[in-house]
């Protein structure tokens, strides 16, 4: 099928490359001429594992093209996907101007009976509003607007697209649902479940899913705080509760607060939609505040651990591992607070390009050990694999001080203690453990028993 995708960001590029891989003839368009020029040379402007290779392959196979001339491309397409940004506006509501502008621009050029598919994350009711905009631009209603929210995660985008837990199609009339079923037929035949519903439900599914996932993170972060007071271990608690099949183990890792381009903005939009429609979302309102306070609380923890004007190494600035994305990353709150407190900040991230543009008053290093050289405190802020396997003896040797704050709980504290570091994770005891002779579970139980009630 001939498909046009508007937006060559994380979602637009993944969608374009994967739909081409499923055999469709895809043209991906963006208004950013430099981005398109780079993509035409198969240079992918974002870091997403496997994406560059897939794009090169699909270009070579002739199934994927890039252009800035969306209106020209749209003429022959049976479906046009909108994958443009939907950032937060100043009030926390969602800014739909990119979606509206793209729809208005493209609608007059689409062929009759084509489907305009909203893949961007949009508040409930948007597809119906866009339908009205599209109808106004045509002589008769011959284009349907459908909703097809995207659930991929950055860092595992290709797998999430190709092996999705489900595909959600929101359609208010059968024709557009049929087109989307045909587009996704190769995945449906492989057993990916389909949820076909009305556009308003599809839009709500997307927001409710992100809000619930974010709530789990907020909850486990609060449990981590309690563990610290009681001498517990949040990983052991998460393991124990996650084994209940009704709960499951995913999204129960304590961390420095959720970041990224989606959870923060989507929780704000969900709360704001609730307020606007007289159906407040108090859980989500509290979560948003808790998540912001957590980043500030952890910045203060670093400041308290460092000597005045001390040197701090921050390992990881991306909002999570395997991406270069720093949108609403914990680092963007924490690092400026440390600079403001007069600390000397040294940073490392394996994919630092976006962060370099946003963080000032800091020094960047090519390696984690380079950043840690002479540091009083080292902080693991992103769970990159290379930090999991850090040579802790070398880290300890490189540092001036001994404090290692692990805000992702990815470093074995016994190994850290054996290397001479003073380890502090999240939601676990600040004290370095004695080299283990007993099993892990036993030592956790012993500390819980020994801690004050
Ligand atoms: P992004 O900012 O990386 O990319 C958006 C792109 O759209 C930009 O390159 C921009 O130049 C382009 N654009 C803007 N207006 C355009 C127009 N009229 N025509 C063509 N291109 C235009 O955004 P993203 O991270 O890919 O997110 C896109 C949407 O998908 C958002 O609504 C987001 O919430 C949602 N989403 C994102 C993710 C994710 O992991 N990033 C996952 C699921 C859903
Ligand atoms: C998230 C959702 O997981 C996707 O399903 C969704 O499509 C996407 O948002 C979106 O709507 O854009 P993403 O933001 O790429 O994907 O990354 P996640 O893996 O969900 O992580 C989000 C944040 O939560 C990160 O800062 C991560 O470090 C944090 N997190 C995640 C935790 O602190 N603990 C966890 O257990 C999981």
Per-residue pLDDT tens digits for 109-157: 999 999 999 999 999 999 999 999 999 999 889 999 999 999 999 999 9
Per-residue pLDDT at 440? 34
For the CA of 157, the nearest atom of ligand 1: 40
pLDDT value of position 431: 52
> How far does the centroid of ligand 2 lie from the alpha carbon of residue 409, in Å?
17
Helix (H, G, I), strand (E, B) or coil at 264: helix
Is 263 close to ligand 2, i.e. is its CB under 6 Å away? yes
Which one of 6, 7, 260, 267 would you pick to mutate in the ligand 1 pocket, going by the greatest count of ligand atoms within 8 A of its CB? 7
Whether the predicted pLDDT of 98 surpasses 50: yes
- Ligand 2 lined by 128 (C-beta under 6 Å): no
221-230: which pairs have CB atoms within 8 A and are 24 or more residues apart? 221/254, 221/255, 221/257, 221/290, 221/291, 221/294, 221/426, 222/290, 223/254, 223/427, 224/254, 224/426, 224/427, 225/427, 227/427, 227/428, 228/426, 228/427, 228/428, 228/429, 228/430, 230/448, 230/451
Name 146's bridge partners: 117
pLDDT of residue 432 exceeding 50: no
Cα of 258 vs centre of ligand 2, distance in Å, is: 7
E-state strands within 24-114: 25-29, 64-67, 79-82
Residues with CB under 6 A from ligand 1: 6-12, 29-32, 35, 70, 83-86, 98, 101-102, 105, 120-121, 150, 152, 154, 261-262
- Ligand 1 midpoint to CA 118 (Å): 11
DSSP-derived secondary structure for 96-128: -HHHHHHHHHHGGGSPTT-EEEE-S---TTHHH
What atom of ligand 1 comes closest to residue 102's alpha carbon? 18
Q: Whose CA is nearest to atom 31 of ligand 2?
A: 251
**Residue 362 scores a pLDDT above 70:** yes
Q: Please give the residue that has the higher pLDDT: either 59 or 438.
A: 59
What residues are labeled active site?
262
Whether the pTM exceeds 0.85: the reply is yes
pLDDT at 453: 34
pLDDT at res. 109: 96
- Categorize the per-residue pLDDT at 92 as very low, low, confident or very high, splitting at 50, 70 and 90: confident
Q: How confident is the model at residue 236 (pLDDT cuts 50, 70, 90)?
A: very high
Candidate of 17, 74, 84, 318 to mutate for ligand 1, largest count of ligand atoms within 8 Å of Cβ:
84
Mean predicted confidence (pLDDT) in 290-309: 98
Structure confidence by residue, pLDDT tens digits, 30-72: 999 999 999 999 999 999 999 999 999 999 999 999 999 999 9
Q: Tens of pLDDT along 385-431?
A: 999 999 999 999 999 999 999 999 999 999 999 999 999 999 997 55
Candidate from 11, 124, 152, 203 with most ligand 1 atoms within 8 A of CB, to mutate: 11
The count of other CB atoms within 10 Å of the CB of residue 103 is 26
Question: Counting ligands in written order, which one lies closest to the CA of residue 209?
Answer: 2
For residue 90, pLDDT beyond 90? no
């Amino acid at each position: 099928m001939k498909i046009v995708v508007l937006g060559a960001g994380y979602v637009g590029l993944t969608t374009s490359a994967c739909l081409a891989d499923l055999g469709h003839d895809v043209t991906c368009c963006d208004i950013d001429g430099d981005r398109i020029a780079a993509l035409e040379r198969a240079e992918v402007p974002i870091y997403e594992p496997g994406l560059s290779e897939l794009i090169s392959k699909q270009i070579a196979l002739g199934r994927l093209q890039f252009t800035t001339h969306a209106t020209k491309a749209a003429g022959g397409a049976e479906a046009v996907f909108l994958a443009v940004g939907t950032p937060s506006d100043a009030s926390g509501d969602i800014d739909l101007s990119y979606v509206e502008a793209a729809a208005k621009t493209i609608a007059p050029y689409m062929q009759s009976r084509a489907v305009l598919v909203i893949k961007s994350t949009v508040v409930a009711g948007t597809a119906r509003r866009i339908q009205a905009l599209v109808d106004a631009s045509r002589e008769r209603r011959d284009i349907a607007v459908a909703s097809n929210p995207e659930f991929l995660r950055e860092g595992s985008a290709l797998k999430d697209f190709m092996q999705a837990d489900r595909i959600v199609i929101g359609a208010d009339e059968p024709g557009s649902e049929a087109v989307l079923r045909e587009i996704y037929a190769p995945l449906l035949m492989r057993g990916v479940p389909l949820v076909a519903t009305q556009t308003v439900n599809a839009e709500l599914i997307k927001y409710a899913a992100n809000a619930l996932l974010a709530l789990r993170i907020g909850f486990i972060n609060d449990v981590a705080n309690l563990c610290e007071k009681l001498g517990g271990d949040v990983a052991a608690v998460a393991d124990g509760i996650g084994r209940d099949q009704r709960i499951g183990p995913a999204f129960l890792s304590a961390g420095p607060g959720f970041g990224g381009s989606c959870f923060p903005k989507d929780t704000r939009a969900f709360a704001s939609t609730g307020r606007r429609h007289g159906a407040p979302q108090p859980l989500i309102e509290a979560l948003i505040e808790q998540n912001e306070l957590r980043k500030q609380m952890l910045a203060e923890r670093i400041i308290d651990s460092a000597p005045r004007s001390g040197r701090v190494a921050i390992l990881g600035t991306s909002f999570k591992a395997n991406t270069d994305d720093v949108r609403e990353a914990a680092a963007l709150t924490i690092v400026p607070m440390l600079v403001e407190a007069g600390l000397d900040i040294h940073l490392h991230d394996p994919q630092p390009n976006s962060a370099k543009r946003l963080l000032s008053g800091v020094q960047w290093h090519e390696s984690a050990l380079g950043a840690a050289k002479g540091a009083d405190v080292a902080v693991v802020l992103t769970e990159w694999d290379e930090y999991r396997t850090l040579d802790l003896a070398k880290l300890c040797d490189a540092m001036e001080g001994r404090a290692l704050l692990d805000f992702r709980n990815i470093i074995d504290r016994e190994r850290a203690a054996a290397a001479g570091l003073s380890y502090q994770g999240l939601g676990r005891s600040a004290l370095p453990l004695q080299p283990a002779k007993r099993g892990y579970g036993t030592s956790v139980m012993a500390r819980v028993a020994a801690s004050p009630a």
